[in-house]
Amino acid sequence: MLQHTALLYASTFPLVFMAYATSNPNPQEEALLQWKASLADANSLSSWSPTGNSTCCSWLGVTCDAEGHVAELSLPSAGLRGQLESFDFAAFPNLTKLNLNNNSLVGDIPFRFSKLPNIVWLDLGSNYLSSPDYSRMSPMPTLEHISMWGNKLDGMFPEFILSCTKLIFLDLQGMISMGQYQIHWPR
């Protein structure tokens, strides 16, 4: 009897696990879908859907690394309207590039974007974003490219930028009290 019970569990566990795995998207897919749901206009993200056997790696603007982790999110001029507040930056430890240039994103830039441990390229330019709480930002030693031009940035020079030791390009054009800063230097 014990052998039959063990055999029953051994044969049903994979079926239950497979059903659970296919009905629950991975944490990165969940984070992207949650952010999409928070946007006022996400018509361009119609491919962002947990259907069939596809993963978020096949969605518009999403590029994954060899292990299937989101490495790039590039949605310039995608017509996105909403906030970054509900974007779960912690779900993307492998993210190296975030390009949301030329959309209609509003509100504060969440300081949590500075917690992306591998970010190299950050472009939030040409939106309607306000300054983050710079005092809560973490050092970003991997960052090489920062573009935040054309937003509602104000205040003192963001000191977190001084911790970006690999920085090659910085564009903060349009900061209210800073004048216009665009810095580019060779590596």
The answer to whether 109 and 158 are in contact (CB under 8 A) is no
Q: Does this model's pTM top 0.75? A: yes
What is the per-residue pLDDT across 34-81, written as a single tens digit (0 to 9) for each? 999 999 988 999 999 987 777 999 999 999 999 999 999 999 999 999
Q: What is the pLDDT at residue 2?
A: 53
Parse the chain into domains and list their residue ranges. Answer: 2-184
pLDDT digits (tens, 9 = 90+) for 99-148: 999 999 999 988 898 889 999 999 999 999 998 888 888 889 999 999 99
Fold of the CATH domain 2-184: 3.80.10
